[in-house]
Chain A
Amino acid sequence: MPPAEILIEGLTQSCIYMTMAFGMVLVFSILGILNWTHGQLFMLGAFIVFYSTTAAGIPFPIGILLAGLVMAGIGILIKKFIIDRIKGELYIGVATLALIFALEGAASLLFTSDDRGLAIILPGVLNLGVVAISYQKMAVIIFTLIVMTAMYFVLNHTKVGLAIRAVAQQPVAASLYGISTERLSLIVMGIGCALAAMAGAIMAPLYPINPFIGRTPMIMALLAIVIGGLGSLTGAIVGGLILGFLHSVIAYYISYLSEVVLFGLIILILLVRPQGLFGASAK
C-alpha cells in the first residue's frame, strides 16, 4: 500500500481529469465530435482566474465562476462561428486541432510564455499526523464533488438534463418531440467548455500557469474517456479515477517506467474491451 500522500495527490489529479473528461464526453454525446481544444480552454480558464484574482482582486471562488462563464461564452462562439460552418466530422476535428495552435499562440502573445503561479490562494497544510493534506487539494476535491453533484442533478432532475439525455440517445426522435437540437448543442458546448475552464481555474493554485499547460490534461482526459467508454458519463469519471490513481501509484513502485505500463495498460484495456469499460457497444 503506497503512502496516503500519494493517494491524495492521485485523487487530486483524478479530479482534474474527471472534470475535463466529463465535459468532453458531454460534448461528444450531443455534438458527435471530439473537441480537441478542451486543453486550451483549460489553460485559458487558469489564466482568467490568475488575472481576475491578482490584477482585479476578485475573490477566488468568484474567479472560478467567472472563468467558467467567460469560457462558456467562448465555447459557444467557437461552436457558432467555426464548428457550425464546417461540414464533416473530419474537418471539424482538424479545425479544433488547429485551434490548439491558434489559442496557444494567442495566449503566448497576450500573456507571454512566462510561468506564473497562484500559490497565494488558500496556503497552508492540514497536518493530521498520519497524513498531510493542503487546503488547495481539499478545495480541488470538494469542488469536483460539488460539480459532479450539480451535473448529476442537472442531468437527472431538470428539463435541460432530460433533453440532453434524450438527444444523446435518439437525436431524431428527440427533435420530433420538440427539442431544439441546435440550441441544446450550444448549451452543451457551453457547459463542456465551462467545465474545462473551471478545472483549469481550480488547479491554478496547484500547478504553474503558462500557455502550454493544456496539453497533458487534454491527452489524459482523452485517454480517460476512451478507456471509460466513449459517450459514457460514468465511464469518464471512472476513467479519470483510474488514470489519476494508477499513474501515481505505479510511479511509486517502478518510478519512471510507469509511463510504459500506463500506455500498455490502456492498449490492453482497449483490446480486451474495445468499447471501453462502460461503453455500450462498439460503434
Chain B
Amino acid sequence: MRYFFKTIHLIDYKNIVPKTVIGLFIILILLIPVFTRNVVTLSTLIMTGIWAVAAMGFTLVLRTGQFSLGQSAFMALGGYASAILTAQMGLPFWPSFLVSGLVSGLIALLVGMVVLRVGGIYFSIITLALGEIVRIIALQWEPLTRGSRGIIASAPPPIILGGHELVNFNASLAPYFYFMICLVAVTGLVFWRIGESRLGRTFAGTALNPVLAEHQGIYLMKYRVIAFTVAGVFTGYAGALYTHFLQVITPMVFGLWQSIQIMIMSIVGGIGSLVGGPIVGSILLYNLGEYLSRLDTPGLQSFLFGSVVVIVVMFLPQGAGLVNLWERFWNKVVWREEEYEPDEPED
C-alpha cells in the first residue's frame, strides 16, 4: 500500500488558488438556497456534501497509507447512534447528534487500536469484514436497532430564538443545506489544519516510508489510530446527517458498495488534497450518478458510471486526481497570462 504515495505530490493551496476566488466561490455556494428552492437540486447538493465528508475521512485514513474498505460502516454507526438516541430513547436532537460522531469515533478508536497494527491489505479486508459485521449486527440486534424494519429518525426540531421560530427543518430544505455546509466547513477546516500541521506531515511521512518514519522515532500506530479516529468521528457525523435527512435508517443503507462509492469519489477527486479532492470527486461523481439514474435503459447507468470512472482514471495525469487538473490549469494558463500583464500589481 505504501507504494501509492510515491507518485503523489501534495497540493499547496496558497499558491494555486487566490483567496478572492475561494471567497467568491464560498459566497456563491452560500447563496444557492436564495436562488433556487428546487427540492431535487437542493437535496442532491446536500447528499453531495454528506458523501464529500465521508470521502474526506477516507482520504485522511489513506494519508497514513491505510486503505479502508469499511468507511460506510462509520456512517452507519453515526446514523444508528443518532437515530437510536432520538427515536428509541427520546433524547433531544442536538445532543444526540453531537454524541453520534463521538460514538462512531470511539468505535473507530477501539477498532483501530486492535486492527491498525496489521496494516496493508489485511487492514482493508478487516475493515471490509467490519462493515459487514456492523450491517449484520444492525440487522440482528432487534431490540436496539429494530432490525430490517429500520428506525424512523425525525427531522431536527425547529430552532426557536426568543419565542420566534428561526429555523424550521420541516418547512424547506434550506436549513438542511446550511447544516450540510456547516458540517463540510467544520470537517474541511479540521482536516485542512491537520494537513498543514506537523501531524499531517507525520501522516504523509508514515505513508511514504513507514520504515524510515519508524526509525525517526515516529510511533506509526499512534498516527494511524489518530487518523482513523478523526475520520471515524466526521464520517459518523456525515452518517447522522444522512439519516436525519432521509429520516430513516435501515441495515441496507450502508454496505460495501457505499464504501466503494466513497473510495472512488475520494480517489477520482484526488488524494493530493485532503479537502478539495473529496469535494470535487463527490460533486462530480454523485451528480453523475444522480443524472444517470434518470436514464430509462436498465444497465446503461452503471455501465456509463463505471466507464466514466475508468476513463477519468486512465487519462488523469500520473498519480493525480481531478483537483490536480485545476492546479495545472492555474499554473500553466492563468499564471502565464498574469505574467504578460505588467500593469497588474502583484500582492
Classify A-B as touching or not with yes or no (CB < 8 A). Answer: yes
Binding site for B on A (CB under 8 A): 34, 82, 85-91, 93-95, 97-109, 112-113, 211, 219, 222-223, 226, 230, 256-257, 259-260, 263-264, 266-267, 270-271, 274-276, 282-283
Given contacts A87-B318, A88-B319, A109-B298, 9 further A-B contacts (CB under 8 A): A34-B121, A95-B314, A99-B306, A100-B260, A112-B299, A219-B256, A260-B136, A276-B122, A282-B120
CB atoms of A89 and B307 under 8 A apart: no
Report Cα–Cα, A209/B132, bound state, in Å.
Answer: 24
Report Cα–Cα, A223/B309, bound state, in Å.
Answer: 26
Report Cα–Cα, A223/B122, bound state, in Å.
Answer: 10
B182 on interface, CB distance cutoff 8 Å: no
Report Cα–Cα, A101/B1, bound state, in Å.
Answer: 24
CB atoms of A101 and B126 under 8 A apart: no
Report Cα–Cα, A222/B310, bound state, in Å.
Answer: 22
Contacts of A274 in B (CB 8 A): 117-119, 122
A107's closest neighbor in chain B, by CB?
A: B299
Cβ distance A258 to chain B, nearest Cβ, rounded Å:
10
Given A98-B310, A99-B306, A271 and B300 contact (CB-CB distance below 8 Å):
no
Cβ distance B8 to chain A, nearest Cβ, rounded Å:
8
Query: Which residues of B from 53 to 69 have beta carbons under 8 Å from A?
Result: 62, 67
Q: Which of A109, A257, A264 is the one whose CB lies under 8 Å from B140?
A: A257
Contacts of A283 in B (CB 8 A): 120-121
Contacts of B304 in A (CB 8 A): 105
Residue in B260, B301, B306, B309 whose Cβ sees the most chain A Cβ within 10 Å: B306
Q: Which of A102, A211, A256, A263 is the one whose CB lies under 8 Å from B306?
A: A102
Report Cα–Cα, A95/B309, bound state, in Å.
Answer: 7
Report Cα–Cα, A97/B299, bound state, in Å.
Answer: 17
CB atoms of A113 and B299 under 8 A apart: yes
CB atoms of B136 and A108 under 8 A apart: no
Given A101-B306, A105-B301, A113-B299, A91 and B122 contact (CB-CB distance below 8 Å):
no
B29 on interface, CB distance cutoff 8 Å: no
Q: Which of A91, A97, A263 is the one whose CB lies under 8 Å from B319?
A: A91
CB atoms of B310 and A263 under 8 A apart: no
Given A99-B306, A105-B303, A109-B303, A88 and B136 contact (CB-CB distance below 8 Å):
no
Q: Which of A82, A108, A230 is the one whose CB lies under 8 Å from B299?
A: A108
B137 on interface, CB distance cutoff 8 Å: yes
Cβ distance A236 to chain B, nearest Cβ, rounded Å:
14
* 14 pairs from A and B in contact (CB 8 Å cutoff): A89-B3, A102-B303, A104-B302, A105-B300, A108-B298, A108-B302, A222-B125, A226-B122, A266-B126, A271-B114, A271-B118, A274-B117, A274-B119, A282-B120
Cβ distance A151 to chain B, nearest Cβ, rounded Å:
23
CB atoms of B125 and A223 under 8 A apart: yes
Contacts of B7 in A (CB 8 A): 87-88
CB atoms of B303 and A82 under 8 A apart: no
Given A89-B3, A260-B136, A283-B120, A105 and B114 contact (CB-CB distance below 8 Å):
no
B interface: dominant SS = helix
Contacts of B126 in A (CB 8 A): 266-267, 270-271
Contacts of A103 in B (CB 8 A): 306
Cβ distance B218 to chain A, nearest Cβ, rounded Å:
19
CB atoms of A106 and B133 under 8 A apart: no
B263 on interface, CB distance cutoff 8 Å: yes
CB atoms of B299 and A105 under 8 A apart: yes
Q: Which of B115, B128, B305 is the one whose CB lies under 8 Å from A101?
A: B305
Interface string of B103-136 (1 = CB under 8 A from A): 0000000000011011111100110111011001
Report Cα–Cα, A260/B331, bound state, in Å.
Answer: 52
CB atoms of B264 and A97 under 8 A apart: yes
Contacts of A263 in B (CB 8 A): 129, 132-133, 136
Report Cα–Cα, A104/B301, bound state, in Å.
Answer: 10
CB atoms of B264 and A85 under 8 A apart: no
Contacts of B117 in A (CB 8 A): 274
Cβ distance B206 to chain A, nearest Cβ, rounded Å:
16
